[in-house]
Amino acid sequence: MRYSNLSRLAPRSYTVTATAAALALGIYTGSLVIMNQRRPLALADAGTTTTTTSSSTSAATAKQVVFGGGLGFPFVSLPLESAEMVTHDTKRLRFRLPSPDAVSGLPLTSAVLTMSWPKGSWTPVVRPYTPVSSSDEPGHMDFIIKHYPSGKQSTHIHSLHPGQTLTFLAMPIKGPRWKPSSSTSTSPSPEHVTLIAGGAGITPIYQLAKGILRDTSDTGTAMTLVFGVNTDKDVLLRDELRDLERQHPSRFRAVYAVSELSRAQAEEGEGTSDPQFRSGRISRELLEEVVPKPDRAGRVFICGPPAMETALVGGGRWGSGGGRPGILEQLGYQKSQIHRF
């Protein structure tokens, strides 16, 4: 199933399909895992791993790939190693992989499905989340997860204590495909990619930006991130984004659109005096100012709440219903240039 068809807050049809699959798999093969969610599975139990070889050493090193999508056991249950609040409603959680050498092995822009089975319910709750750690990071996998007050899975995940486990489906959900680009003597100007995120929608956008910058075959892509948040305290992954800017000053830049600057901040000019922090929502004017004019090669990747995405891509042939042109169309982007997570 294509990732871009999924809404981050309303995973309706997708959940139905995934739930049916999970339920079927659960009945036939996985009930042991679901019933024993509190027992961390040993790697051999998980059965989701495949092996791969690292070319960086002359002696081939076998790596355990937990989300290889092979024909192994369909579920893996991972213990929570640590959890910390990073904003008033969002946690950063680290789950331990089955061995210190194991890696997630997820392709760039992928998410994973988590599953829990609420007491008394006939069906499991299945929701996707996007790791913010790299796919080759050994031993653990990190997530940034926002808590919705009546949200089933985010409430469950936020209630977990270190040592308790969460069940994952071992099959990755692949996102939009990324093809590396490089600057050559005939085409020296780098491709520019615009990344637009809102709230917890930063997770796949960050994964993509970091993946592009770590890819040694991609020397041509430059990126501008426009990140919409409610207050400046809601900027998730701020240190990580700052690191990307420091390490790749000519290729990565972030601008934060803060919709609710506090009165004190506004009076003192705090936030607004920093050119990285702009007051207000992501608007046509802001995009015109901070990202290059669209050319045929430029791409835009978007992930955020439904209202933000609708404002950007509009309705009708671009979005779903309404027919009003979105900000990106007004700026001159073609539909084929826009990729939604």
Ligand X SMILES: Cc1cc2nc3c(=O)[nH]c(=O)nc-3n(C[C@H](O)[C@H](O)[C@H](O)COP(=O)(O)OP(=O)(O)OC[C@H]3O[C@@H](n4cnc5c(N)ncnc54)[C@H](O)[C@@H]3O)c2cc1C
Between 90 and 129, how does the x/- string for binding to ligand X read (CB under 6 A)?
---------------------x-------------x-xxx
Annotated ligand binding at 203? The verdict is yes
Under the binding rule (CB under 6 A), the answer on residue 9 touching ligand X is yes
Residue nearest to ligand X (CB): 151
CA distance 97 to 46: 10
3 binds ligand X (CB under 6 A): yes
Buried b (16+ CB within 10 A) or exposed e, 162-184: eeebbbbbbbbbbbbebeebeee
Question: CA 228, CA 235: separation in Å to the nearest integer?
Answer: 8
Considering only residues 123 through 182, tell me which ones interact with ligand X, judged by CB under 6 A.
125, 127-130, 143-146, 148-154
Number of chain residues interacting with ligand X (CB under 6 A): 27
Instruction: Tell the smallest beta-carbon distance from residue 259 to ligand X (Å).
Output: 16
**112-116 and 192-198: which strand pairing?**
unpaired
Q: Return the C-alpha torsion angle 223, 227, 232, 235, nearest 10.
A: -80
Minimum distance between the CB of residue 250 and ligand X, rounded to whole angstroms?
A: 28
Please tell me what DSSP assigns to residue 337.
G
CB of 95 or CB of 290, closer to ligand X = 95
Q: Choose the stretch contacting ligand X; rule: CB under 6 A; options: 3-11, 18-26, 183-191, 216-224.
A: 3-11
The minimum distance between CB 7 and ligand X, in angstroms, equals 6
Which of 70, 306 has the CB closer to ligand X? Answer: 306
Report the chain's terminal Cα–Cα distance, integer Å.
12
The answer to whether 333 is annotated as binding is: no
Kindly report the number of other CB atoms within 10 A of residue 17's CB atom: 13
Name the residue nearer to ligand X (CB basis): 333 or 341.
341
Task: Name the nearest CA neighbour of 109 among 177, 170, 169.
Answer: 177
Residue with smaller CB distance to ligand X, 41 or 157: 157
Known binder of ligand: residue 119? Answer: no
Closest separation in Å from C-beta 42 to ligand X: 27
Q: Is 249 annotated as a binding residue?
A: no
State yes or no: residue 200 binds ligand X (CB under 6 A). yes
Binding site for FAD: residue ranges?
Answer: 127-129, 144, 146, 152, 154, 203
Residue ranges binding ligand X (CB under 6 A): 3, 6, 8-11, 111, 125, 127-130, 143-146, 148-154, 200, 203, 306, 341
